[in-house]
Amino acid sequence: MRKIRALYTDAFSGLTRDAWVLATIMFVNRSGTMVLPFLSLYLTQALHFSLEDTGWVMAAFGAGSLVGSLSGGWLTDKLGSYWVQVMALTGGGLGFFALSFLTSFWGLFLGVFATAAIADTLRPANGAAVYAFSPPDKVTKAFSLNRMAVNLGFTVGPALAGAIALWSYQGLFYADAVTCLVAAGFLAYYFRGRRGSYAPKVPHPGSVPSTANPSGKSPWSDGPFLGFVLLVLVYATVFFQLIGALPLFYRTVHHWSEDQIGWIIAFNGLVVVLFEMVTVQWLGDRFAPRKVIAAGCAVLAVGFWALPLIPGLTGMLLNMALLSFSEILAMPFMVTYATKRGGDQARGRYLGMYAGAYSAAHIVAPLLGTRTVAAFSNPETGFVVLWVVCGVLAAGAAFAFTRLPAVVGVNRAA
């Protein structure tokens, strides 16, 4: 018991107060993540959209997120991450409130696109802020703390959202709006007086100076990084079935209610909160990040292959547990790789393109999921085919990640 306590204590040590505040802001914001996990159900159950139209509205979120991620990276390099985060949180809150009044296909398509385009400028700006306020040898740990806060919010949000959805789907939009605005106010209050670009990082004694991208070249001219982004896109396309096809699978095949769906999605966040920090602490100095990312992709493949092989609740819980551990292994080291590769002059743009891969996956994932299922007269058969395809894609990404070149960062090769 003492060793376990020491492991968790070490996992959370060495981080700055500012890093903890940024994580708290993300927790408040992500506690309102109630619309996205239930958007496909809202469209099909409440508004009676077809699977194809539902897929297009979900894809509109991804398209807007892609625009927001890329523009957010550029704005972060120009304005500094403070202003971009405040504008993203405030604009996103107002956007979610406006979405509650829209019910037509085109109204929701355009509204979801616009809201995502504004809200997701937050992602590269927040990543740049986390890097700026972290000791050089604690960068991956700081990103893990931020992700832990996101996942803790993602544990609270869907669980509450399931209960709210039973009462009113519109309530989900109101909750998302309020938490965005509260997070914006907290950020503006804490960082008042430090509104410009964040201060340059002071090298840590014994750290390896970064040799990545000293000229600040664009990520568009960095071939290996473009390959990395493509692989992140493949990984995220498979992973995001968690908020697209899986809720439909739970409802269509297993006839679960919204609150039951909310709890199993919340299980993902709970696993990540409990195990990510200690896992990153243990793996960080033992294995090359590219290999840890590849292992995460392999676990993701097994997670989706388990669904048709192990039926019922056991298979669904195993799938969710494996998805959670895949996320733990892959995502913290992915963002570290992108952050280090960008160097000091282009970090915002590199993080913007990295976040853009997830945004593009929000376009591809719902189209892949809904169209694969809709191609079969028996939805259960369509879901089985989808899970097999997802496993193949994740397994291919696992191999490809091991072939990426290393990038020397602030404390070890990534």
The predicted-structure confidence for 220-276, as pLDDT tens digits, reads as follows 888 889 999 999 999 999 999 987 789 889 888 888 887 788 788 778 878 887 888
HSE of 331 in the Cβ direction (CA atoms, 13 Å)? 26
Give the residue-averaged pLDDT of 46-55: 86
- What are the structure tokens assigned to 273, written together? 């909160």
Residue-averaged pLDDT of the chain: 82
Give the per-residue pLDDT at 256: 86
Q: Quickly tell me which residue has 């931020």 as its tokens.
A: 146
Give the per-residue pLDDT at 340: 80
Give the per-residue pLDDT at 212: 54
Q: Which range is least confidently modeled, 25-39, 118-132, 217-231?
A: 25-39
pLDDT class for 206, splitting at 50, 70, 90? very low
Cβ burial, residue 300 (10 Å; 0-12/13-18/19+): buried
Give the per-residue pLDDT at 412: 43
Residue 211 has pLDDT above 60, yes or no: no
Percent over 70 (pLDDT), the chain: 86
DSSP 408: B
User: What's the pTM value of the predicted model, to 2 decimals?
Assistant: 0.71
Please indicate whether residue 11 or residue 385 has the higher confidence score (pLDDT).
385
Give the per-residue pLDDT at 251: 86
- Which has the closest alpha carbon to 123: 173, 73, 75, 86? 73
- What are the structure tokens assigned to 289, written together? 């990040």
Residue 127 contacts residue 143 (beta carbons within 8 Å):
yes
- Which has the closest alpha carbon to 393: 293, 268, 296, 300? 300
User: Got the DSSP string for 264-324?
Assistant: HHHHHHHHHHHHHHHHHHHHTTTS-HHHHHHHHHHHHHHHHHHHHHS-HHHHHHHHHHHHH
pLDDT in tens, 323-368: 999 999 998 888 888 888 877 667 788 888 888 898 888 888 888 9
Round to whole Å and give the CA distance between 146 and 143.
Answer: 5
Please indicate whether residue 108 or residue 338 has the higher confidence score (pLDDT).
108
Q: Which residues contact 205 (CB under 8 A, 6 or more apart)?
A: none
pLDDT class for 302, splitting at 50, 70, 90? very high
Residue 408 has pLDDT above 50, yes or no: no
Tell me the torsion sign for CA atoms 75, 77, 78, 84.
positive
DSSP 47: S
Round to whole Å and give the CA distance between 211 and 370.
Answer: 44
Residue 322 has pLDDT above 90, yes or no: yes
Domains of the chain, start order = 14-191+204-401 (1.20.1250.20)
